[in-house]
């Protein structure tokens, strides 16, 4: 890590040549706030607020006619087309709909009849929602459920079932080798449903080139779509036509306004649309995605990895336990440190203007969103962490009081 900035001046020099530096002005962030929680909830881009105001004006002016006059009826597909380049797939293979939890259920249930065996697989260190969905879906469908040891997903593909797997582990930030997983799945008739929640918008995810066929992901993290923003589904063109959604709502119908009693699915990923799309949220998301215009996924990944290297270097100098991979090619857009007093440390950081997050029992995560963070931001945050740990200023009663959301 010889090229890391070892002074504030060196960090500022890197920021001067950063090709993404100009993107910072597109975001609305509080003055004096170093926001390292973009992997949990991204900050609002100015364009997101603008598109929301436009949608509200359309609603006020044209009322129900806005479905046609403002193009609301096609907004889910248009937002999906904006996401497609960030995950390396064709525009018509992505649609924005529902939540990650619902979408994982829909995709896994649709894939199950096509797998070599009726078994649902998930690793024990997967994000809890993914585990809950997998286990309950198996119960409802009568499929076998197997909770695997951490890291056991690849070996279990020989069982020929459906594996729900995150592309980036939410705690450690370890990146899965999607191409290797998909090649192994193809050998055994297994199907993988990828969770891209901690990958999209920060890594160079090339799903089509890697052979991935099914994925879901959220849009409120690195994509900055707003709290509770709708999620997306990717279904490869060659597979989508063979899939039947377990929630065949009217927006997934080939002719929704024909109001026929029998269901006929739309072509491709659009068949996974269910109910009426949340237009105000979709408009906000579509506006947020404008910040990614003319930005390559490789540029995002390169900067995120550089910022991660900086965090790890400083953590090493403090003698902290780094939970994330040191190889930047194996690490996502966040770095996790194990700190026994993690919760009050995060609260002390917040009091200094540095926002990070805590995951029980002792994980402190730093999200490194490449569009709005600078090298100087991250270096300053690590300076603050070092001061808090050395001074013991984290050990105040107000920093130990637990909030409902941690």
Q: Read off the pLDDT of residues 190-248 as tens digits, 9 standing for 90 and up.
A: 999 999 999 999 999 999 999 999 999 999 999 999 999 999 999 999 999 999 999 99
Instruction: Tell me the pairing of strands 357-359 and 363-367.
Output: antiparallel
**Catalytic one among 220, 222, 232, 366?**
220
* 358, 334 contact by CB (below 8 A): no
Round to whole Å and give the CA distance between 100 and 232: 7
Structure tokens, 50:
């603008």
Cis amide bond preceding 361, omega within 30: yes
Check residue 3 and give its pLDDT. 63
Residue 31 DSSP symbol = T
What is residue 255's three-state secondary structure? coil
Check residue 406 and give its pLDDT. 79
Indicate the burial class of 394 (C-beta count within 10 angstroms; 0-12, 13-18, 19 or more).
buried
**Catalytic one among 23, 51, 159, 221?**
221
CATH topology of domain 49-292: 3.40.640
Place of tokens 């879901």: 216
Check residue 358 and give its pLDDT. 95
**Catalytic one among 127, 170, 234, 372?**
127
| Angle between helix 297-317 and 75-87 (nearest 10) | 60
* Beta bridge pairs of residue 232: 96, 217
Strands (E), 119-169: 119-123, 144-148, 162-166
Q: In this structure, how many other beta carbons lie within 10 angstroms of the beta carbon of residue 210?
A: 19
Indicate the burial class of 262 (C-beta count within 10 angstroms; 0-12, 13-18, 19 or more).
exposed
For the question of residue 221 being annotated catalytic, the response is yes
**What residues does CATH 3.90.1150.10 cover in the chain?**
8-31+296-400
What is residue 62's three-state secondary structure? helix
Check residue 7 and give its pLDDT. 81
For the question of residue 234 being annotated catalytic, the response is no
**Catalytic one among 106, 314, 365, 379?**
365
* 90, 155 contact by CB (below 8 A): no
Spatial CA neighbour of 316 closest among 324, 36, 348, 13? 324
* 1, 313 contact by CB (below 8 A): yes
Round to whole Å and give the CA distance between 207 and 191: 14
Strands (E), 61-218: 94-96, 119-123, 144-148, 162-166, 191-195, 214-217
CATH topology of domain 8-31+296-400: 3.90.1150
List per-residue pLDDT tens for the chain, 406 residues long: 436 777 888 888 898 999 999 999 999 999 999 999 999 999 999 999 999 999 999 999 999 999 999 999 999 999 999 999 999 999 999 999 999 999 999 999 999 999 999 999 999 999 999 999 999 999 999 999 999 999 999 999 999 999 999 999 999 999 999 999 999 999 999 999 999 999 999 999 999 999 999 999 999 999 999 999 999 999 999 999 999 999 999 999 999 999 999 999 999 999 999 999 999 999 999 999 999 999 999 999 999 999 999 999 999 999 999 999 999 999 999 999 999 999 999 999 999 999 999 999 999 999 999 999 999 999 999 999 999 999 999 999 999 999 898 7
Check residue 11 and give its pLDDT. 86
**Catalytic one among 15, 58, 125, 195?**
195
**What residues does CATH 3.40.640.10 cover in the chain?**
49-292
For the question of residue 220 being annotated catalytic, the response is yes
């Amino acid at each position: 890590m010889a090229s890391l900035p070892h002074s504030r001046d060196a960090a500022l020099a890197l920021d001067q040549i950063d090709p993404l530096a100009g993107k910072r002005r597109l975001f609305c962030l509080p003055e004096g706030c170093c926001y390292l929680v973009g992997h949990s909830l991204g900050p609002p881009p100015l364009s997101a607020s603008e598109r929301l105001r436009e949608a509200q004006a359309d609603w006020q002016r044209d009322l129900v006619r806005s479905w046609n006059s403002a193009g609301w009826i096609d907004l889910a597909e248009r937002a999906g087309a904006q996401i497609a380049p960030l995950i390396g797939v064709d525009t018509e293979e992505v649609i924005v709909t529902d939540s990650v939890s619902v979408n994982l259920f829909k995709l896994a249930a649709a894939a199950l009849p096509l797998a070599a065996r009726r078994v649902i697989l998930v690793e024990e260190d997967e994000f809890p929602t993914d585990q809950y969905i997998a286990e309950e879906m198996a119960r409802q469908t009568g499929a076998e459920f197997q909770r695997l040891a951490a890291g056991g997903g690849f070996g279990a593909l020989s069982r020929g079932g459906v594996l729900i797997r995150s592309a980036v582990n939410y705690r450690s930030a370890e990146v899965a080798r999607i191409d290797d997983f998909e090649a192994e799945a193809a050998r055994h008739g297994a199907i993988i449903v990828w969770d891209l929640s901690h990958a999209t918008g920060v890594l160079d995810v090339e799903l089509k080139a890697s052979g991935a066929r099914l994925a879901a992901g959220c849009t409120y993290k690195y994509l900055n779509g707003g709290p509770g923003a709708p999620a997306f589904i990717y279904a490869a063109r060659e597979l989508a036509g063979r899939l039947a959604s377990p929630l065949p709502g009217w927006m997934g119908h080939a002719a929704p306004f024909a109001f026929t009693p029998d269901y006929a699915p739309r072509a491709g990923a659009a068949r996974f649309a269910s109910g009426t799309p949340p237009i105000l949220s979709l408009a906000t998301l579509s506006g947020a995605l404008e910040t990614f215009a003319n930005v390559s996924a490789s540029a995002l990944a390169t900067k995120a990895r550089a910022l991660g290297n900086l965090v790890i270097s400083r953590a090493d100098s403090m003698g902290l336990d780094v939970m994330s991979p040191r190889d930047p090619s194996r690490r996502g857009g966040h770095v996790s440190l194990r700190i026994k007093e993690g919760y009050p440390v995060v609260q002390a950081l917040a009091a200094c203007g540095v926002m990070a997050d805590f995951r029980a029992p002792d994980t402190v995560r730093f999200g490194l969103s490449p569009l709005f963070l600078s090298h100087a931001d991250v270096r300053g945050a690590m300076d603050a962490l070092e001061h808090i740990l050395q001074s013991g200023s984290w050990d105040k009663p107000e920093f130990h009081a637990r909030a409902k959301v941690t």
